[in-house]
Amino acid sequence: MRELAFRSAIAIVRALLLTSVLTGTVCHPAIAADLKPRVIVFVHGIHGGAETWRAANGAYWPQLIQTDPHFQKSDVVVATYPTPSRHGQLSTIQLAEILWQGLKRQQVWEHREVVFIAFSLGGIVTEEMLLNHPADAARVPFLVSYATPHQGSFVANLAKIYDRDPLLTDLRESNDNGFLIDLEQKWRSTPSAARIHRYCAFETLDTAAGEGIGKYLGARVRVVNYYSATYGCDADTAPQRIAADHIGIAKPDGRSADAYTFFARIYRDHPIVDVVESVRDNKLAGLNVDCNRTNSADDLQVPIVLDPALHEQLLSAEAEFADAEKIRAISPPVVKAIDPNGIAHVSYSFKGQGRSLLLGCPTGHASIAVHFKIRSEVPARE
């Protein structure tokens, strides 16, 4: 019976290998000038390709998104990398670099924001790639993985008995899987990666074998279990259950499918950010001076309110006298320093206009206006 179980599992693996055929279908922008603020990148799994995302009714997930007005500010790229159906020679680390190079050619890293939809092994390859390229990882606000075996899959344990593909070793289910353990430890300890939100969906149906003895036995198996598919993902967002097997989880048949709506919800919760620079003023009034005296300060602190929800940053500040009467400016106001929390440190000096026969000794007054240059991250409407 153990031998039959082995053969059934291998039959399932072979069926998975034959499910997706690389067609070279890629959605990407034509020229750099046409790039949208964000790009959505699809990354397939082991032995998959561009057709991984096509449902039985012909619905093609990347195209569903590309024609959905809710994603009008995002380009769509379908990534591919070489993972032959049998006897592959490349490890996950090698594929991660190949994937990065391919995305570079497709102008992905020229976008302001990059988000990922990753299926199965694609999630592991994507995480390895982002760890190796921290500057590009800084552009990634989140990734959504579907049935990614963060803790391996026992199907890989069986398959590697018959196939020496290094990917099957990387994906084996084992407490001593050094590759997956090291990947997760590096992710959590690397600032550029740890800030990226990870959201997960998991399969709820067993996958049927498609050929061999498994076909006659009607054998079925859960390729990636719940714990493996959800390990390491954001705790504040519940993993999404998808009523599909391992093959079908990446093939939504329309925009109402759970796989599609889950990503759409995550996308909506992380709106594209438009970086806007503006000038905001604050005027400090009530600076008085007797006619024959001087009013001065080396560190007058003038604040401006910054909105943390918009991640506002104070870039610079300039100061000038305003509403001045009966004074003589000795030293125009100068911003000597600015604090990141929104305070301009100003030095100034002015003197009263002096006595006169008609006015006697009038009191002078002035205000100091500070013009703050502020950068804000404003959520874009789609």
pLDDT tens digits for 236-252? 899 999 999 999 999 99
pLDDT at 129: 97
| Range 178-183 average pLDDT | 86
| Range 110-135 average pLDDT | 95
**CA distance linking residue 61 with residue 374, whole number of Å:** 39
pLDDT at 163: 54
pLDDT at 29: 46
Model confidence band, residue 175 (pLDDT cutoffs 50, 70, 90): confident
What pTM did the predictor assign? 0.73
Residues of the chain with pLDDT > 70, as a percent, come to 83
DSSP assignment of 284-324: EEEEEE-TT-EEEEEEEEEE----GGGT-EEEEEEEEEEEE
Burial of 143 (0-12, 13-18, 19+ CB in 10 A): buried
* Side-chain half-sphere CA neighbours of 112 within 13 A: 15
Model confidence band, residue 33 (pLDDT cutoffs 50, 70, 90): low
pLDDT at 9: 45
**Residue 87: pLDDT above 70?**
no
Tokens of 277: 């620079």
pLDDT at 14: 40
Q: What angle do CA 133, 134, 136 make, to 5 degrees?
A: 75
pLDDT tens digits for 39-84? 999 999 988 899 999 999 999 999 999 999 999 999 999 999 987 6
The answer to whether 64 and 78 are in contact (CB under 8 A) is no
Residue 316 identity? S
Residues of the chain with pLDDT > 90, as a percent, come to 60
